[in-house]
């Protein structure tokens, strides 16, 4: 399995989805939104939550690229918002343990909308 930072930096998603996620990130409330998105009763710890979000995002992107009727732009954007916020949280935590705050990697690269 690849390290979390590598998995995050290798994501390539359409600019429209990324822009929507950046805009929505300011309204993200971890205690409420993460439980709703992951369908859990308890808020998970940072790394397990981040891994679950990565898996969910991959599944949603697969639905998007297959033009599935089950795909929801809103749900995908919600997952990307949470993924951005949890990535920042994770990297601030691991940075504080070692040499101070660490800059999170850019969540995704832009790709043509397919």
**Considering the entire predicted model, what is its pTM?**
0.84
Q: At what angle are helices 73-97 and 15-24 packed, to 10 degrees?
A: 60
**pLDDT at 102 (0 to 100):** 52
| Residue ranges covered by each domain of the chain | 14-97
Task: Using a pLDDT cut of 70, give the percent of the chain over it.
Answer: 82
pLDDT value of residue 3 = 81
Q: Where are the alpha helices (DSSP H) in 4-109?
A: 4-9, 15-24, 35-38, 46-65, 73-97
pLDDT in tens, 62-108: 999 999 999 999 999 999 999 999 999 998 888 755 555 455 555 55
pLDDT at residue 61, rounded to an integer? 96
């Amino acid at each position: 399995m690849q390290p979390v930072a590598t998995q995050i930096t290798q994501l390539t998603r359409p600019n429209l989805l990324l822009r929507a996620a950046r805009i929505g990130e300011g309204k993200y409330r971890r205690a409420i939104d993460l439980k709703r998105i992951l369908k859990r009763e308890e808020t998970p710890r940072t790394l397990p939550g981040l891994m679950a979000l990565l898996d969910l995002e991959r599944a949603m992107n697969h639905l998007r690229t297959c033009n599935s009727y089950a795909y929801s732009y809103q749900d995908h954007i919600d997952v990307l918002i949470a993924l951005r916020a949890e990535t920042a949280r994770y990297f601030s935590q691991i940075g504080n343990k070692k040499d101070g705050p660490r800059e999170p990697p850019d969540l995704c690269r832009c790709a043509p909308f397919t």
